[in-house]
């Protein structure tokens, strides 16, 4: 992951995001998986963040996403899950019958930050700043 720059910041922000289908139903296969891949890429483009890599499993999705400091992770996930659910239910209406409550996604998700510097390195750097300034 390269350092990025904008008008007032230098950043390197990456997220590993995972979310599951409701009831872990294995519905993300064949044409639905293809539609999902195209759709998630478009949602990211429309919202000015980048999906660096993606794996669509039958019952969950893994993404590696890079973004700017202006992007809120909750807003990115809301866009990815909300828009994709509406689109898939519209294009594949039979999915609602497979998902008892009419929801495509489990409401939970996992997100982990990705970086090149460990927590221990950052803590040590911060702790030594006052000593370095003396």
Q: What angle do CA 120, 62, 33 make, to 5 degrees?
A: 175
Distance separating the N- and C-terminal Cα atoms of the chain: 34
* Cα separation, 25 vs 57, whole angstroms: 11
Q: Say if residue 80 is exposed, middle or buried (CB neighbours under 10 Å; 0-12, 13-18, 19+).
A: buried
Q: Of the residues 11, 87, 109, 125, which is catalytic? A: 125
How many CA atoms, within 13 angstroms, populate the side-chain half-sphere of residue 68?
11
* 3-class DSSP state of 52: strand
Query: For residues 14 and 65, is the Cβ–Cβ distance under 8 A?
Result: yes
23 tagged catalytic? no
What positions carry a catalytic annotation? 125
């Amino acid at each position: 992951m390269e350092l990025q720059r904008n008008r007032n910041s230098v950043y390197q922000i990456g997220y590993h995001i995972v979310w599951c289908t409701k009831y872990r139903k294995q519905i993300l296969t064949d044409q639905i998986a293809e539609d999902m891949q195209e759709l998630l890429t478009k949602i990211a483009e429309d919202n000015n963040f980048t999906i660096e890599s993606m794996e669509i499993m039958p019952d969950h999705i893994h993404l590696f996403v890079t973004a700017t400091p202006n992007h809120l992770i909750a807003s990115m996930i809301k866009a990815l899950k909300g828009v994709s659910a509406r689109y898939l239910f519209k294009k594949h209406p039979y999915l609602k019958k497979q998902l008892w409550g009419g929801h495509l996604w489990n409401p939970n998700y996992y997100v982990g930050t990705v970086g090149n510097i460990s927590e221990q390195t950052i803590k040590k750097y911060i702790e030594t700043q006052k000593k370095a300034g003396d």
